[in-house]
Amino acid sequence: MNPKLTQRLQSAILGVWPLWARTYRRNNSYESEHPGRCGHQSKFSVRDICYAGLFAAVIAVMAQISIPMPLGVPMTMQTFAITLAAVVLGSKLSAIATLVYLALGAVGVPVLANFSGGFDKFVGPTGGFLISFPLMAYIIGLGVEHRDAFKGAFVTAVIVGTVVNYVVGVAMFVVVAHSTIAVGITACVLPFIPTAIIKAVLACAIGLNLRKRIPGLKA
């Protein structure tokens, strides 16, 4: 892993922190002054909502880093961002952040790969990968939350979450493209294995570091 690349990615993510911080301080101050008006009727605090919104934006930005592939399935940094969100936020918040991102894309906001959007992306050949993102995030988040209680839980969750993403993605590719499983694996899995490993390791390393530095999250 390139230390300079890791540092640059981490700095880029932390670069949007001032915007979040202003929003969080303003709303957190309101919660402190009016404790009966917010925070007690919801499972999620204003801070949680800010975190989810922030990482939905991070996913949208990272999705634009895309490399076209011959068989139609682009190589993107979406899975990197999903894994990063899961490691930093945990299961529930990362799933919510991912759902927010997908909801924006479904209604036509150009947050999907190559600045695209629209419901048709979810029923196309690569729609399975998008649909399975929340489940992928939730599984990896669970691994982070239980990594101290169960030896190997974190690594296992990252592998299972990634496999789930590939299985759902390949299944939908085969159905929509009227293809075979062999072609689906060739188009959607084999070319991406090396970069998937690199992105997972990088996202986990950066995510665990960020998790220690962000207030309100367990290290």
- Note the pLDDT of residue 39: 44
Mean residue pLDDT across the chain: 83
What count of Cα atoms within 13 Å lies in the side-chain half-sphere of residue 66?
17
d(CA 107, CA 116): 11
Q: Is 193 exposed, middle or buried (0-12, 13-18, 19+ CB in 10 A)?
A: exposed
Q: Is the pTM of this model over 0.75?
A: yes
Say what the pLDDT of residue 191 is.
Answer: 87
- 5 has pLDDT over 60: no
Fold type of domain 3-213 = Arp2/3 complex 21 kDa subunit ARPC3 (1.10.1760)
Residue 75's alpha-carbon distances to 26, 62, 103, 129, in angstroms, are 39, 11, 21, 12
pLDDT band at 46 (very low <50, low <70, confident <90, very high): confident
Q: State the pLDDT at residue 110.
A: 95
Strands 75-76, 66-67: parallel, antiparallel or unpaired by DSSP? antiparallel
More confident residue, 186 or 44: 186
pLDDT computed for residue 20 by the predictor: 47
More confident residue, 46 or 72: 46
pLDDT band at 214; cut points 50, 70, 90: confident
Give me the residues paired with residue 36 across strands: none
Report the pLDDT averaged over residues 34-42: 49
**pLDDT, tens digit, 9 for 90 and up, residues 104-153:** 999 999 999 889 999 999 999 999 999 999 999 999 999 999 988 888 89
Q: Is the pLDDT of residue 21 over 60?
A: no
Domain ranges of the chain: 3-213
The closest alpha carbon to 123, from 194, 172, 164, belongs to 172
CA distance linking residue 64 with residue 50, whole number of Å: 22
Residue 2 pLDDT > 80, yes or no?
Answer: no
Q: pLDDT of 90-106, one tens digit each?
A: 999 999 999 999 999 99
Query: Which pLDDT score, from 0 to 100, does residue 30 have?
Result: 44
What does the H/E/C string look like for 22-85?
HHHHHHHHHHHHCCCCCCCCCCCCHHHHHHHHHHHHHHHHHCCCEECCCCCCCEECHHHHHHHH
- Per-residue pLDDT, 76: 83
